[in-house]
Structure 1
Amino acid sequence: MAKRGHRPSQAAAGRPRFWGRHAVAAALANPERVVRKIWGTREALAPFAIPSTIPVVFAEVTDLARLVPADAPHQGMVAEVDPLEDTWLGDLLAQGRTDPDDRRPLVVLDQVTDPHNVGAILRSAAAFDALGLVTQDRHAPPEGGVIARAASGALESVPWIRVVNLARALEEIAEAGFWRVGLTGEAPMTLAEAMGGQRVALVLGAEGEGMRANTEVHCDQLARLPISAKVESLNVSNAAAIALYAAATRG
């Protein structure tokens, strides 16, 4: 490896590594993200104006493969970053309270632990201009390369709130004026029928288990997606994308 800046060191504990053009570019563009180090091929890094304060290590593709999980599509670049600062739920909910036309939905995940799914949901949340994502702290994956790659840059733009107690968070969400709609295949009402015209919080549970009973009772309405009987259920990230589209396009 050739180097520019500091001597390479071992990854600090708690610092995730991102890989791939979209994830690394978004991290560099986010003023709230601290990028500690970048590894990459000269060709991959050539288009980027990387600040001189960030150590850059030029590396071969085989070297980069050792920095990330097996078969990770690093596209010639890897970045070591600091996790983003925590955002408080109350601060997020305060957004839009003074604007009666703000109907951006909120996405709430109940123990969805697969980082691919969480990353894909973040990407859909960005695509449909969701207010943010709320998850439990203990039962959600940490920031990391898999999420950043699946989110395709959305990890840097969609506020992600981690809470200790999801039921208490849902109560706070209701107090802020959101209609909490829990998605479950057994509900008699469709999502379109359940949403109405108010601001909605779309609540989704983990695949297989679905929402826990204590989460369901903290929803104002349970609803289903009108899918064909040929399919038992949808992947949670697909369901979130469809629900966000429905929320964005309602009359």
Structure 2
Amino acid sequence: MTKSRWPGGGQDTPRTPAPAPGRDSPWGARARPNPEPPRAAAPRPDARADDVAAAGEAEDRREMRLYGRNAIDAVFARRPEAIRKLYLLEARIPQLQPLLKWCAANRVGYRVVAEDDLRKLASSAHHEGVVADVLREAPQSLGTWLQSLPAGPACALWLDGVGNPHNLGAILRSAAHFGVSAVLLPKTSPLALSGAAARVAEGGAEAVPFVRLGREDNALAQLRSAGFKLAATVVRGGDDVFAAELPERLVFVLGAEGEGMDAELVKACDLRLCIPGSGKVESLNVSAATAVLLAQWSARLR
């Protein structure tokens, strides 16, 4: 029998057994080799993993599928109520005891599945033994974010056309490391957090809020009224970031991978910065460039 705990489940949903000696575990006997995880939209003991994976986007658009230990641990630490379903390998049971107990206490469905099924659920081999369906956190408005921002130094990232989920994840990881206050998304940007981005971010996605901008001219005016200067990051023709005087309140504006930044947005910025190099390649990847820029801004504050 596949080990599971689904709220209101059928007769094959086992009761949580007493923990084994020396291990505080809510699980009982071993899982059978070919478990059949439930559909994402409506958990059922007989639903197949490929049905769940085929669903892709949950019927409830507010849900997203996360995978990877650090990504899921970060959600559990900050907003556990967002977790809706959990799938894991049996080998992960000892490491996930607090999460499993929380699921049992709050009637959140969880199930032990086989490696092949977990790979299908995550649509990735890099699941690290655990997959979760969680509620998305809606972006804040720029006004709301600025009102809640404390006085003093602050840095934000304006992503103009960045779309690769792995680049987004790496940007979020660097942003969390250097204490970035927010990621700013243009009004029409389709960019959103994905499972792949969250895994690459290694927990950073929960540490840096998304802020949805309104009209570009209004956003620029609001940011400047709050004491921010905007720095366009350019490949050539900008000031050397290692020599430039960086303000305490700064928004780095980063362009798309390939096309670069919108020319009008570059003109509207207060600063134009570049990262000098050997010239053997044209420029750094946008996520690598972000790490360099944030490290330099952070160093200027010391």
Q: TM-score, normalised by structure 1?
A: 0.90
Write the distance in 1 (CA, Å) between the matches of 2:188 and 2:232.
21
How far apart are residue 33 of structure 1 and its match? 5.6
State whether residues 194 and 221 of structure 1, in contact with CA within 8 Å, keep that contact through their aligned partners in structure 2: no
Give SS of 2:95's match.
Answer: coil
- The DSSP-based 3-state class of the residue aligned with 2:85 is strand
Which residue of the other structure, out of 9, 19, 40, is the alignment partner of 1:10? Answer: 40
State the 1:59 CA deviation.
0.7
Determine the structure 2 residue equivalent to 1:66: 120
Q: Distance in 2 between matches of 1:21 and 1:165?
A: 37
1:88 to 141, 144, 149: 141
Q: Where do 5+ consecutive residues of structure 1 fail to align?
A: none
Q: Residues of 2 paired with 1:140 and 1:167: CA distance?
A: 19
- Which among 210, 234, 238 is matched to residue 260 of structure 2? 210
Name 1:139's counterpart in structure 2: 189
- The alignment covers a number of residue pairs equal to 247
User: Which position in structure 1 is the counterpart of 2:109?
Assistant: 55
Q: Give the equivalent residue in structure 2 for 1:157.
A: 207
> CA 1:60–1:208 in 2, change beyond 3 Å: closer, same or farther?
same
* TM-score, scaled relative to structure 2: 0.76
How far apart are residue 136 of structure 1 and its match?
Answer: 2.4
Task: Give the aligned residue type for 2:138.
Answer: E
Which amino acid letter does the alignment assign opposite residue 69 of structure 2?
R
SS in 1 for 2:184: strand
Larger CA deviation: 104-113 vs 44-53: 44-53
Q: In structure 2, do the counterparts of structure 1 residues 110 and 195 end up closer, same or farther at CA, with 3 Å as the change threshold?
A: farther
2:269 aligns to what? 219
Task: Give RMSD over aligned pairs.
Answer: 1.9
Select the residue among 221, 226, 241 that pairs with 1:171.
221
CA 1:33/1:208 → structure 2, altered by over 3 Å: closer, same or farther?
farther
The counterpart of 1:39, out of the listed 45, 64, 87, is 87
Whole-Å separation in 2 of the counterparts to 1:188 and 1:59? 53
- Which residue pairs with 2:26 in the alignment? none
| Cα separation, 1, equivalents of 2:239 and 2:40 | 53
Asked whether the 8 Å contact 2:246–2:297 carries over to 1, the reply is: no
The alignment partner of 1:217 has SS state of helix
- The residue type equivalent to 1:73 in the other structure is H
1:120 aligns with 2:170: yes
Q: Which runs of 5+ in 2 are unaligned?
A: 10-37, 42-57
Pick closer, same or farther for the CA change 1:164–1:74 going to 2, 3 Å.
same
- Between the aligned partners of 2:221 and 2:170, the Cα distance in structure 1 is 26
Deviation of 1:87 (Å): 1.5
Secondary structure in 2 aligned to 1:9? coil
With over 3 angstroms needed to count, the CA separation of the structure-2 counterparts of 1:154 and 1:164, relative to structure 1, is same
User: 2:78 — aligned with what?
Assistant: 30
Q: Report the residue type matching 1:72 in the other structure.
A: A
- Structure 1 194/94 Cα, relative in aligned 2: closer, same or farther at 3 Å? farther
Distance in 1 between residues matched to 2:214 and 2:83, nearest whole Å: 27
Q: 1:96, CA displacement in angstroms?
A: 4.5
Contact 2:89-2:130 within 8 A present in 1 as well = yes
Report the residue type matching 2:3 in the other structure: A
The answer on 1:190 being equivalent to 2:240 is yes
Identity of aligned residues (%): 33
Q: Tell me, yes or no, if the aligned pair for 2:155 and 2:181 is still in contact at 8 Å.
A: yes
